[in-house]
Chain A
Amino acid sequence: DGGITQSPKYLFRKEGQNVTLSCEQNLNHDAMYWYRQDPGQGLRLIYYSQIVNDFQKGDIAEGYSVSREKKESFPLTVTSAQKNPTAFYLCASSMGLLGTGGMVSGYTFGSGTRLTVV
C-alpha cells in the first residue's frame, strides 16, 4: 500500500542534542513538508521541498535543518539551536503544483513523531 511513514513515533532528546526525524513516502509525490503542532494549536510550517535537491524555509525554520537527496525521503533534524523543541511533528507529501492549475489533491500526512526534551 502507498503511504507516508514517520519514525520514530516517540523520541526523547537531551538538552544540547541534535535528533533526526525520518519521513519516507512511496506515493511518488514530488513535494514534501514538515509541520510542527503544539498542544491545542494548528500546524506551523517548518520546511518544504517541491523537488529533489531543493527546499525552502517555512514560517518557523530556525533551529531546524532538512535535506532532500531522494524523492522518497525528507528527514528533519532538530538541532540544539531549537530552544523549545517539545512538540508533535508531522510530515506530509503531495503531488505538488501542476502548472497554473494549482493543487489538484490534498496532502497525505504521516502519523507523526512526538518529540520530548528530557
Chain B
Amino acid sequence: SQQGEEDPQALSIQEGENATMNCSYKTSINNLQWYRQNSGRGLVHLILIRSNEREKHSGRLRVTLDTSKKSSSLLITASRAADTASYFCATLETSGSRLTFGEGTQLTVNP
C-alpha cells in the first residue's frame, strides 16, 4: 500500500516561479525523503528530513515536515525548465525497514 500521497498530481508553472508540492502520510515515521525522476530514468535522491527536524534546505530546495499533521512540502524556488520531472516523497516508518513511495507529482516548467 502507498504510505505517501502527493498533491497535486500535476503542476504546470512558468520558469522563474516557485513550485510547491505536498506529501501526506499515515503512520509514524523515522524520516521522509524526496526524489526526482526524469522521464524514463531512475530516481535521484534530493533530500532527507528526519522526524525531529522541521525544515531543511538544499540549494533551491526547501523541505518542511509537520509530524502533527503527517505532512511534508517540497518547495523549488526560481524554477527552471530543467526542473521538469516527477517528484516523489518516500517515508521510512518508525518500525519499518524500507521506504514506501507515493504516487508522485508531475512538474512541468514552461520556458
Set of chain B residues within 8 Å of A45, measured between Cβ atoms:
98, 100
Residue of A nearest to B101 (CB): A43
Interface size in chain B (residues, C-beta < 8 A): 26
How far, in whole Å, are A42 and B1 apart by their CA atoms in the complex?
11
Within A24-42, the residues touching B (CB, 8 Å) are 31, 33, 35, 41-42
Answer whether A109 and B48 are a contact pair too, CB < 8 Å, given A33-B98, A42-B101, A50-B97. no
**Does A102 count as interface, using CB distance less than 8 angstroms?**
yes
Give the contacting residue for B41; candidates A97, A102, A104, A112; CB below 8 A. A112
Please encode chain B, from 81 to 111, with 1 for each CB lying within 8 Å of some chain A CB and 0 for all others: 0000000101010000111111110000000
Assess the B43–A107 pair: CB atoms within 8 A.
Answer: yes
- Secondary structure at chain B's binding surface: helix, strand, loop or mixed? strand
How far, in whole Å, are A102 and B75 apart by their CA atoms in the complex?
25
**Does B12 count as interface, using CB distance less than 8 angstroms?**
no
Assess the A103–B103 pair: CB atoms within 8 A.
Answer: no
Set of chain A residues within 8 Å of B40, measured between Cβ atoms:
88, 112, 114
| Stretch touching chain A among B14-22, B30-38, B65-73 | B30-38
Assess the A112–B35 pair: CB atoms within 8 A.
Answer: no
* Residue among B1, B40, B42 facing the most chain A CB atoms (10 A cut-off): B42
Set of chain B residues within 8 Å of A58, measured between Cβ atoms:
98
Residue of A nearest to B99 (CB): A107
B84 to chain A, nearest CB (A): 15
Assess the A48–B98 pair: CB atoms within 8 A.
Answer: yes
A26 to chain B, nearest CB (A): 16
Assess the B98–A90 pair: CB atoms within 8 A.
Answer: no
Residue of B nearest to A109 (CB): B42
How far, in whole Å, are A92 and B101 apart by their CA atoms in the complex?
13
Assess the B44–A109 pair: CB atoms within 8 A.
Answer: yes
Within A43-76, the residues touching B (CB, 8 Å) are 43, 45, 48, 50, 56, 58-59
B41 to chain A, nearest CB (A): 6
8 smallest A-B Cβ distances: which pairs? A106-B45, A109-B42, A102-B30, A42-B103, A43-B101, A109-B43, A111-B42, A42-B101
